[in-house]
Amino acid sequence: MKRRMMVDTKMTEHFSSLIRRRINIVLEMMYERPNELVDLESGEKYICSVCDMEHKRCESEPDYRCEIARKRETEFKDLELALARLKEGTYGYCESCSEFIGKKELEKSLTRTYCDNCARQN
């Protein structure tokens, strides 16, 4: 059973603020041009709406998004999960051993879910 995070309100507010700020940054990067969320066809190639790089059309995935776009989408989802863990009181605890990860480590990586020891083992 996972431990409930026993932190004060200041720490919860601190991480909530950091996570929400990062979500806003990622959303701005993802949707600078909201009317171009899907790659735009440009002759024989597609232009990614996120990174503006031309990519050949993927035969198996016509709605192909470049690696940068997929990373931003993944980061956004991970940040949302971090907010959910913060609300339920499990944010900051290792998913494997339930030890507290540490404030400085979490500030470096807001979506971190494993302590150093467990991360090395995986």
Quick: pLDDT tens for 16-43.
999 999 998 888 877 664 433 344 444 4
Q: Which residues pair with 100 in a beta bridge?
A: 93
Contacts 24+ apart (CB under 8 A), 93-100: 93/2, 93/3, 93/5, 94/118, 95/2, 96/121, 96/122, 98/2, 98/3, 100/5
Q: Tell me, yes or no, if the pTM score tops 0.85.
A: no
Any residues with CB less than 8 A from the CB of 42 and at least 6 apart, and which? Answer: 54
Left (φ > 0), alpha (ψ -120 to 50) or beta: where does 28 sit? alpha
